Amino acid sequence: MDVADPAAARALAEKLGESVQFYKLGLEMMMSGGYFELLEWFRSRDKKIFADLKFFDVPATVGAAVRNLARHGVTFATVHGNQGIMEAAAKAKGDVKILAVTVLTSLDRGDLDDLGFACDVEKLVLSRARRAFEAGCDGIVASGLELPAIRRAVDGRLLVVTPGIRPVENRPSDDQKRVVTVEQAFRDGADYIVVGRPIRDAADPRAAAEAIQSTIAEIFPT
């Protein structure tokens, strides 16, 4: 739900109907006002919520923020920090599953150089995945490009949520750099995928969502 405000989110959700059951509400929506009212609106319609707020602050503050968020019945929440931050979030989570961000899918090798990381992307992702597991996090957010290595290196109980899903060729204006298809993500070990613009920007968002659901059904036949 990377749209301008709660009204736009409700309008898109009405178009999508039953084709989508799980929604990610991020920072843009938080800063537009009405975040928690929108969250409750979704919950009243039996939708699950992924609160993608990437908590990053001193551990005590992150723990308190997660504790407050847990009162709102969200399913997932993200943290983006060091061991102390992840541990504080895990201790305060209640029924919320805490996901640690590894390396944003909008970053590539050059961006990591700018940030002062000397290691390659995969090595950094694996390090953060292991530390998230040790900290008590339920899962991680990671690009599909690192999924095979993650599944080889980290305990299988760790959930992996994969953004940067692009059913078609990436547009030049797209800020997502490390992307994979729906099929590649699930075949390489993703538990969940996050699909935003390919649905939001489609001529028929519901048809786009249903097409992705059909692809998933083919991967996991009943």
**Confidence grade of residue 137 (pLDDT, cut at 50, 70, 90):** very high
The token duo for 191 is: 């538990």
Residue 176 has pLDDT above 80, yes or no: no
DSSP-assigned letters across all residues of 106-135: T--HHHHHHHT--S-HHHHHHHHHHHHHHH
Mean pLDDT rounded to a whole number for the chain: 89
Pick the closest to residue 215 from 175, 179, 166 (CA basis).
166
Give the residue, 180 or 49, on which the prediction is more confident.
Answer: 49
> Is pLDDT at 81 greater than 70 in this prediction?
yes
For residue 177, name the pLDDT band (cuts at 50, 70, 90). Answer: low
Q: What is the pLDDT of residue 108?
A: 56
| pLDDT band, residue 157 (cuts 50/70/90) | confident
Relative to beta strand 76-79, strand 97-101 is parallel
Task: Determine the average pLDDT of the residues in 93-110.
Answer: 79
Q: What angle do CA 89, 3, 141 make, to 5 degrees?
A: 35
Superfamily for 1-101? Aldolase class I (3.20.20.70)
d(CA 68, CA 92): 9
- Which residues make Cβ contacts (< 8 Å) with residue 157, sequence separation at least 6? 133
Q: Are strands 139-141 and 76-79 parallel, antiparallel or unpaired?
A: unpaired
* Predicted confidence (pLDDT) at residue 170 exceeds the cutoff of 50: no
Say if 1-101 and 129-212 have the same CATH topology: yes
**Domain limits of the chain?**
1-101, 129-212
**Active-site residue numbers?**
54
Alpha helices in 17-58 (DSSP H): 27-32, 35-44
Instruction: Give the number of other CB atoms < 10 A from CB of residue 81.
Output: 20
Class of domain 129-212: alpha beta
Q: State how far the alpha carbon of 84 is from the alpha carbons of 59, 87, 174, 214, in Å.
A: 6, 5, 33, 41
Determine the angle formed by the axes of helices 6-16 and 205-219, rounding to 10 degrees. 60
